[in-house]
Structures are given as C-alpha cells and as structure tokens.
Amino acid sequence: MIKKLCIIGVGLIGGSLALALRRAGYCEEIIGAGRNAERLQIAQDLGVIDSFNTDMAAAVSDADMVFVAVPMGAMAAVFKAIDAHLKPTAIVTDGGSAKVRVIEDAKEFLKRCYSQFVPAHPIAGTEQSGVEAAFAELYQDRRVIITPSDESAQASAAVIAMWQAAGAEVESMPAAEHDEILAGTSHLPHLLAYGLVNCLFESNNSESYFRYAAGGFRDFTRIASSDPVMWRDICLANKTALLTSLSRYQSELDRIKDALNKEDADQLLCYFQSAKMSRDKFNF
Amino acid sequence: MIKKLCIIGVGLIGGSLALALRRAGYCEEIIGAGRNAERLQIAQDLGVIDSFNTDMAAAVSDADMVFVAVPMGAMAAVFKAIDAHLKPTAIVTDGGSAKVRVIEDAKEFLKRCYSQFVPAHPIAGTEQSGVEAAFAELYQDRRVIITPSDESAQASAAVIAMWQAAGAEVESMPAAEHDEILAGTSHLPHLLAYGLVNCLFESNNSESYFRYAAGGFRDFTRIASSDPVMWRDICLANKTALLTSLSRYQSELDRIKDALNKEDADQLLCYFQSAKMSRDKFNF
C-alpha cells in the first residue's frame, strides 16, 4: 500500500499506473505534477489523479512514492527540482526507456535520496500519448524491468510491489543490458518506421504510396505515430546502444541487397526462412 | 457471372477469392489446380472448391476464367503448361505482387491467349498462408490494381466485374508504376522486417530480445512471418524497383544516424514530427 503517490508527468504511462493502482486499491491518495495546469486538470477531471500541483517541489513534499514519467530529456530537471523537497523516506522511481542515462542524471541531481531511487521501465505503451489514452489495463501481464543499484535494495521491494499491484511482472537486470535489449526491440524499430514513412512521403509518389498501402504497411508503420519529443529524447539518451544496433541493422540490409543484386534465390530463401522461424517461435 | 472458374494455387489468395465469389453467387463451378493433391483435397473438404485436378492442362480445359495465384517464380511454368489447353474465349488473370515480370512471362508463355490476359494484384493478404487461412471477406473494400495491355480491354471488364463481386475496388495503372509503389509500401517493409528479426536473433542476446519485446515490436515484425518462398519470388521479380527503394531507405537511415551521431536534437525532432504527421494523415 502507498499512502501518497506523486506522479510527475500524467500522460499515458503515468496516468495508466494511477488508474491501475486505483483499481487495485493500492493508493490512498494520488497527486499529479507537471508544467501544464490545463492538462493536469483534465487528468483530475478524468479521475486519474485526486489533485495536482504545477509546483513540483510542493507536490512531492509529503509523498511516500514519486513516479517520474516525463520524457527522458526532462528527467534531470525534475530530479533537480524535487531533490531538496522529498521526505527522507520517500522512494523515487521513473518510467524512462533508457536506464544508463537516467541513473547518471539521478546520481548528479538526486543527491539526498539517491539510495532510494529505483530506475524502472515498464515495457508497455501504445502509439498514443496523453492522459486521455491512459487505461488501467496497460500494464496487465506486461514486464517492468528495474535496474537498481546495490544501495537501493530495500526501496526496490516497494517499487516491485507497486508494479505488481498494477498487474505487471517485474524483473531486474543491469542497466546497460536493459539499454542494449531495448535499443534492438524498441528504439531501433521506431527509427526504422519513422525512416520508412519519411522515405515514402518525400518521394513524388507519396499520395499513391499511402493510397495503395495494405495491412502489413499499416502495422509496420504504426509506431511512426508515436510522440516525437519522447522519441527524440529516448534516441539521444540511448545513443550508444542505438547506434550499435543501427549499424548492425545496416549490415543486415547490405547482406539482403547483395543477395538481391546477385539474384541469389537460395540465400534469399534461407534468409527469409530463418527470420520466419525466429518470428514464429516468438509466440505473440 | 462466371460459369466455370479455375483457380491455380488454392492458398490464402486463391482460396479467399473462391470463398468471396461463392458467397456472392458469382460462379457456377470452381475447380482447383496445383501440384499437391493433399492440399487441394483440404481445399475441397473446406468447401472452397468443388473439385480439383493436379493436371493443370485438364483443369483449365473448359474454364471460362482462370486465376493464377501461385508464387511469382512459378508463373511462367503455369502459363506454359496451360497455354495450349485454354478455351479460345478463356480469360486469364493472376494475383502476382510484381506486374512487369508477370507480363514478360505472359508475353513469352501465354502465346495463344495473351490478348485475354489481364494482370492483376489484389492488395490484401495476411502473414498467414495456405487455404486454411482463406476467408470470404479478405477482399472486402480492398483495392485490386490491374495493369492491362491495350489489347486486353474487353477481358479487363470481366476481371474487374469478378473482383467487384468479391467486394474489392478495382483500379488500373501502368505495370511499372504499380511495381514502384508496391516496392515501397509492401516489398521493402517485408525486407526490413525480415532483416530486423534476423539482426536480433543472430545476436548473443536473442532470447532476451524476444522476452522483452512489446507491442510495437510485435506489429513491426508481424510480416516477417510471411511465406518465405512467396517473398523470395516477389523480391526477385521486382528486383529493380526494390533495389531503388532499398537504396533510398538506406540513405534515410544514414541521415538518422548522422543526426544521432551529432546529437542534433532539433533535426531528430523535426524528422520524427514530419513522419508522425504523414502517418497520422494516412487515416487507417
């Protein structure tokens, strides 16, 4: 149970956690914080939060748990703004998609309560954003990865319990490993989808491209509707792992191009078969 | 109305057309043809076709309309096998995903009835294959592109009417334009998805990659479960347009990589915003 939860950034991610914890009866009180009073008012009107405060320092002052769900690029500023105002026992966690960078930011700006900071990443989301898109089931049976430091073992237990109350399965791993995996399964695919949409739209045929697109294209490019600010921040925050991943992918494309250039039917077939086998094994 | 329809290749595409036309009461009789008697028996047992014959020449001999729905690489052999056995009035059409190559094959091997050949491409499908995956609604409100020659205007009317009876909207365009558009919206995305799955699966972390993948990855890679033989053939058949498309895409990735390397936040944001705007405009 959490007495008072403060959610900084009440959008899809923060709002869905609030709704899930409300449904589970896991919080006595939820306060929202952020820069935009109008957006926070909507969150309150929707029953996602009980109250809000655009002054982050005030909002966290008597919170037992603080969930920071802002774009990666805003994490450092949030940590800096709240550090001096946290209760000594307060636990701080986040929902950022790249953990090494968040940990660096926390080390630098969460000076007072770094040992109670638990980096976390709920592997869930949709291409939608904003509190209107939030729903209580977003985390049901989804994974949340935490990447805690040795000092934050006790705080981790509270964060794990919170995510479990929201329906998620929590696992722990080193931050660098998290960043490498997510670069491949999430950050790179977003880049690829953004790239494809621009590639087609910048051509002369752009109207036709979309007119004659089918379901495969729709699914493939859905993530290109994701929030640009959030993804700019994620890409910059996970730059190193993402560049490695992108380079590996470019080599794959070179392999395919080479096989196609040589009209090497066997190599193409083998390549596609191996991908299909891997994808089918992965039983979604 | 079609008196006797012969479908060569009774899989997802051929089988779904049969089911749609049956539902519409548009065919008196549907005969299936192909190499595999066991698969054709399943199609008959499922009520997709009335009868079948593994001898293609015999199967087409009194058909009024012949729909060739085999992988692109098998088109030429089918045309060759049936040409001498078609009724003089028979209309032949296909469902191949690359039209320039099919037309070349038809010119070479459909000698007797080339003027009654109407190249067509139903822009529909799923990552499934086989007649078990066929369903009558596959073409409902989907587009079918025909790329007829000047000689085949009369035959075109019959093919258009058939696809309309199956629920589709039919449009006509030059074959080369079709191939360029489909390279971008369908063939390239398939290559990209196959490439991503292999890229991740060949790494040391392959188990983790799939364990921690979320909905975006699932949607993005769904098409990597598509039939490898079919896609090998499509890639080879549309090689030129696809290579052009792939090169353009590689330049896009270089642009993204460059912006990321320089940590050019504005350029990344602009790039993602422009993709999101294009994708959102395309109201799926």
Tally C-beta pairs within 8 A across A and B. 281
Q: Could you tell me if B42 and B144 lie in one domain?
A: yes
Q: Are strands B65-68 and B91-94 parallel, antiparallel or unpaired?
A: parallel
pLDDT digits (tens, 9 = 90+) for B22-35: 999 999 999 999 99
Contacts of A216 in chain B (CB under 8 A): 125, 127, 186, 189-190, 222-223, 226
**How close B3 comes to chain A (CA, Å)?**
31
The confidence score (pLDDT) of residue B201 equals 86
Instruction: Calculate mean pLDDT across residues B229-233.
Output: 94
Q: Could you tell me if B65 and B19 lie in one domain?
A: yes
Contacts of B187 in chain A (CB under 8 A): none
* Cβ B106 vs Cβ B76: under 8 Å: no
Give A73 or B212, the one with higher predicted confidence.
A73
Chain B nearest-CA residue for A268:
B232
pLDDT digits (tens, 9 = 90+) for A185-234: 999 999 999 999 999 988 777 788 888 887 778 888 889 999 999 999 99
* pLDDT > 90 fraction of chain B, expressed in percent and rounded: 84
**pLDDT of B56 above 80:** yes
CATH of the domain at A150: 3.40.50.720
Q: Could you tell me if A86 and A181 lie in one domain?
A: no
The confidence score (pLDDT) of residue B212 equals 84
pLDDT digits (tens, 9 = 90+) for A103-132: 999 999 999 889 999 999 999 877 788 999
Distances (CA, A) of A163 to A159, A178, A206: 6, 18, 43
What's the sign of the alpha-carbon dihedral A28, A31, A32, A38? positive
**How close B21 comes to chain A (CA, Å)?**
21
Chain A nearest-CA residue for B186:
A217
Which of the residue ranges B23-32, B47-56, B67-76, B210-219 would you say has the lowest mean pLDDT?
B210-219
Which of the residue ranges A183-192, A258-267, B39-48, B201-210 would you say has the lowest mean pLDDT?
B201-210
**Nearest residue to B201 via CA among A40, A281, A107, A109:** A281
The confidence score (pLDDT) of residue A63 equals 98
**Nearest residue to B191 via CA among B134, B132, B248:** B248
Domain tally, chain B: 2
**pLDDT of A284 above 70:** no
Q: Could you tell me if A80 and A166 lie in one domain?
A: yes
**Nearest residue to B183 via CA among B272, B100, B253, B257:** B100
Q: Could you tell me if A214 and A128 lie in one domain?
A: no
Distances (CA, A) of A245 to A238, A248, B282: 11, 5, 29
**How close A65 comes to chain B (CA, Å)?**
26
**How close B108 comes to chain A (CA, Å)?**
21
**pLDDT of B284 above 80:** no
Contacts of B203 in chain A (CB under 8 A): 184, 248
> Does B216 contact A190 at a Cβ distance shorter than 8 Å?
yes
List strand residue ranges (DSSP E) for B42-158, in order. Answer: 51-53, 65-68, 91-94, 117-118, 120-122, 143-146
> Does B199 contact A248 at a Cβ distance shorter than 8 Å?
yes
Task: Give the end of a domain, one of B173, B207, B227.
Answer: B173
- Dmax over CA atoms of chain B, in Å, equals 67
What's the sign of the alpha-carbon dihedral A272, A277, A282, A283? positive
| Neighbour count for residue A25 (Cβ, 10 Å) | 9
> Does B199 contact A236 at a Cβ distance shorter than 8 Å?
no
Q: Could you tell me if B240 and B196 lie in one domain?
A: yes
The confidence score (pLDDT) of residue A213 equals 81
* Cβ B97 vs Cβ B69: under 8 Å: no
What residues contact A185, with CB distance under 8 A and at least 6 apart?
B200, B209, B210, B212, B213, B214, B217
| Neighbour count for residue A174 (Cβ, 10 Å) | 12
> Does A232 contact B268 at a Cβ distance shorter than 8 Å?
yes
Q: Could you tell me if B110 and B194 lie in one domain?
A: no
pLDDT digits (tens, 9 = 90+) for A41-100: 999 999 999 999 999 999 999 999 999 999 999 999 999 999 999 999 999 999 999 999
Q: Could you tell me if A190 and A157 lie in one domain?
A: no
The confidence score (pLDDT) of residue B283 equals 62
Task: Give the end of a domain, one of A173, A208, A223.
Answer: A173
Q: Report CA B244 to chain centroid distance, whole Å.
A: 20
| pTM for the full predicted model | 0.88
| Neighbour count for residue B280 (Cβ, 10 Å) | 13
Instruction: Calculate mean pLDDT across residues A23-31.
Output: 98
List strand residue ranges (DSSP E) for B49-199, in order. Answer: 51-53, 65-68, 91-94, 117-118, 120-122, 143-146, 169-172
CATH of the domain at B260: 1.10.3660.10
**How close A169 comes to chain B (CA, Å)?**
11
Q: Could you tell me if B182 and B42 lie in one domain?
A: no
What's the sign of the alpha-carbon dihedral B21, B27, B28, B29? negative
pLDDT digits (tens, 9 = 90+) for B89-123: 999 999 999 999 999 999 999 998 899 999 999 99
Distances (CA, A) of B273 to A22, A53, A54, A197: 34, 30, 27, 11
Instruction: Calculate mean pLDDT across residues B28-49.
Output: 97
- B189: tokens are 């995305």
- A48: tokens are 């996602």
Q: Could you tell me if A31 and A169 lie in one domain?
A: yes
Q: Could you tell me if A42 and A131 lie in one domain?
A: yes
Q: Any idea of the CA torsion for A136, A139, A145, A150, to the nearest 10 degrees?
A: 40
Task: Give the end of a domain, one of A173, A196, A223.
Answer: A173
Give the nearest partner residue to A263 out of B145, B220, B239, using CB atoms.
B239
The confidence score (pLDDT) of residue A283 equals 62
> Does A249 contact B279 at a Cβ distance shorter than 8 Å?
no
Domain that holds residue A148: 2-173
Give the nearest partner residue to B268 out of A221, A235, A275, using CB atoms.
A235
φ, ψ dihedrals at B5, nearest 5°:
-105, 130
The confidence score (pLDDT) of residue B13 equals 96
> Does A260 contact B246 at a Cβ distance shorter than 8 Å?
yes
